């Protein structure tokens, strides 16, 4: 697995159950999956020799993040490595402009996306806003996560401040209409090379400053919208020929439209509640899918909610606070062994209960006991 963050750490936990040896390419010896005991090499994804060295340790190469140079993935594939998801599929998560353009061209079924345009200058942004109105959302084509690289611009001056005067020849940005959102969803679909797919019920996601903070599973949605979200997600995953777990992030607009936001081709924050609430966790499912093993049932045992633990400005003594959080009935705590820098996801709490409201109350209570907020 390329990357050794919390997703690799939790994939490692699942790998232990199947006696699969997970080797991770870590950037440092205190990455979360190294601290959990996965076999590791330390290297830089931008250095092909490091990536190739890590790939040589396994039968299948997969990813905990998509910030890997596309030409390095192509070289691995050309060198005969089994890469799942493939570089071609992963590109949908690496390049927001490529993803928007490609998905907008899908037909039968067509998939709606926000109005968008490539942008390389403040003038490009202003021209788009002339047609679609301010504010607009400006997104870096690649390299962003947790809302980094996503900017809401209210005036032409905002665009000038961010992009400066001139523009490059190649568009480094995508500008899109600022949607009035009623909700955000994620649908996790697992797909194996033989074609079998397994889809989890849509998850409701709540973002604060572009970062996911709370999740409810299943999402609070009319059944018809949930069904449409599942159909849409499955059609996209098939269309891009993804292998492994793929998270399809969707927008529900205030006027009732369902639009594709973005794709992540790996286990995803929105699926953390599957560890306790689903018959098969997303991490077991990802391993089964990339190894082309039979997929597991995605049935929910119970409504569940997850609250992410995010580092704040002060010191956080999680170890001291943990016992009190564990006292909250129904709460399951996951700590990632990351130093709590501001804005960094350092853990999560999932709670199961008979209703989503009760699950969310319990997860919030345990999370605030841990962070002291
Ligand atoms: N066109 C839009 N209109 C309104 N809000 C938007 C729009 N695009 C993005 N957002 C908000 O910004 C958040 C982050 O956007 P996006 O998912 O594209 O970025 P990201 O940083 O790649 O996210 P992730 O953390 O999922 O990797 C979205 O979840 C949504 O809340
Ligand atoms: Mg997103």
Tell me the domain boundaries of the chain.
6-83, 115-177, 179-299, 302-373
**Nearest listed ligand to the Cα of residue 100:** 1
Residue 189 region, left (φ>0) first, then alpha (ψ -120 to 50), else beta? beta
Query: Over its length of 373 residues, how does the chain's per-residue pLDDT go in tens digits?
Result: 999 999 999 999 999 999 999 999 999 999 999 999 999 999 999 999 999 999 999 999 999 999 999 999 999 999 999 999 999 999 999 999 999 999 999 998 999 999 999 999 999 999 999 999 999 999 999 987 888 899 999 999 999 999 876 666 678 999 999 999 999 999 999 999 998 999 999 999 999 988 999 999 999 999 999 999 999 999 999 999 999 999 999 999 999 999 999 999 999 999 999 999 999 999 999 999 999 999 999 999 999 999 999 998 877 889 999 999 999 999 999 999 998 899 999 999 999 999 999 999 999 999 999 998 7
**Which overall architecture, per CATH, does domain 302-373 show?**
2-Layer Sandwich (3.30)
Find the residues whose C-beta lies inside 6 A of ligand 1: 114, 137, 139, 144-150, 176-179, 181, 184, 207, 210, 249, 261-262
pTM of the model: 0.97
Number of Cβ within 10 Å of residue 80's Cβ equals 7
Q: How far apart are CA 110 and CA 231, in angstroms?
A: 11
Closest atom of ligand 1 relative to the 139 alpha carbon: 18
**Nearest listed ligand to the Cα of residue 268:** 1
Closest atom of ligand 1 relative to the 149 alpha carbon: 21
Q: What is the pLDDT of residue 372?
A: 87
Using the mean position of ligand 2's atoms as its centre, give its distance from the Cα of residue 146 in Å.
7
Q: How far apart are CA 238 and CA 89, in angstroms?
A: 10
Number of Cβ within 10 Å of residue 130's Cβ equals 10
Cβ neighbourhood burial of 226 (10 Å; 0-12, 13-18, 19+): middle
**Does domain 6-83 match CATH 3.40.50.20?**
yes
Using the mean position of ligand 2's atoms as its centre, give its distance from the Cα of residue 186 in Å.
9
Residue 321 backbone phi and psi in degrees, to 5: -85, -20
Q: How far apart are CA 362 and CA 316, in angstroms?
A: 20
Whether the upstream peptide bond of residue 109 has omega within 30° of 0, thus cis, is yes
Using the mean position of ligand 1's atoms as its centre, give its distance from the Cα of residue 17 in Å.
34
Using the mean position of ligand 1's atoms as its centre, give its distance from the Cα of residue 126 in Å.
20
Q: What is the pLDDT of residue 322?
A: 97
* CATH dotted code for 179-299: 3.30.470.20
* CATH dotted code for 115-177: 3.30.1490.20
Q: How far apart are CA 23 and CA 41, in angstroms?
A: 8
* Residues within 5 Å of ion ligand 2, judged at the Cβ atom: 249, 262
Asked, colleague to colleague, whether 6-83 and 115-177 share their fold, the answer is no
Closest atom of ligand 1 relative to the 179 alpha carbon: 3
Q: In testing the pocket of ligand 1, which one of 174, 205, 210, 263 has its CB within 8 Å of the most ligand atoms?
A: 210
Q: What is the pLDDT of residue 147?
A: 81
């Amino acid at each position: 697995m390329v990357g050794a963050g919390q997703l690799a750490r939790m994939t490692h936990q699942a790998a232990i159950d199947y006696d699969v040896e997970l080797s991770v390419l870590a950037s440092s010896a205190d990455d979360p999956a190294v601290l959990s005991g996965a076999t590791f090499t330390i290297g830089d994804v931008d250095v092909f020799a490091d990536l190739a060295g890590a790939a040589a340790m396994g039968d299948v190469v997969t990813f905990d993040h998509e910030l890997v140079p596309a030409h390095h993935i192509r070289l691995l594939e050309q060198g005969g490595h089994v890469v799942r998801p493939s570089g071609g599929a992963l590109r949908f998560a690496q390049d927001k402009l490529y993803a928007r353009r490609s998905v907008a061209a899908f037909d039968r079924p067509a998939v709606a996306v926000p109005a968008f345009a490539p942008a390389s200058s403040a003038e490009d942004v202003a021209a788009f806003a002339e047609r679609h109105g301010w504010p607009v959302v400006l997104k870096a084509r690649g390299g962003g996560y947790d809302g980094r690289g996503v900017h809401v611009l209210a005036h032409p001056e905002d665009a000038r401040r961010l992009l400066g005067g001139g523009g490059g020849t190649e568009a480094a940005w995508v500008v899109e209409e600022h949607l009035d959102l009623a909700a955000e969803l994620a649908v996790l679909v697992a797909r194996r090379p033989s074609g079998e797919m397994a889809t989890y019920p849509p998850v409701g996601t709540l973002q604060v400053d572009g970062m996911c903070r709370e999740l409810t599973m299943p999402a609070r949605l009319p059944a018809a919208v949930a069904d449409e979200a599942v159909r849409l997600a499955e059609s996209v995953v098939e269309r891009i020929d993804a292998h492994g777990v793929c998270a399809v992030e969707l927008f529900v607009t205030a006027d009732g439209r369902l639009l594709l936001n973005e794709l992540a081709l790996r286990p995803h924050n929105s699926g953390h509640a599957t560890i306790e609430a689903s018959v098969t966790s997303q991490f077991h499912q990802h391993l089964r899918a990339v190894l082309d093993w039979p997929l597991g049932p995605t049935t929910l045992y119970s409504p569940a909610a997850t609250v992410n633990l995010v580092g704040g400005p002060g010191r956080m003594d999680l170890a001291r606070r943990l016992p009190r959080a564990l006292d909250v009935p129904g709460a399951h705590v996951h700590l990632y062994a990351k130093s709590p820098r501001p804005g960094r996801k350092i853990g999560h709490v999932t709670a199961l209960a008979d209703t989503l409201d009760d699950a969310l109350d319990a997860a919030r209570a345990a999370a605030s006991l841990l962070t002291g907020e």
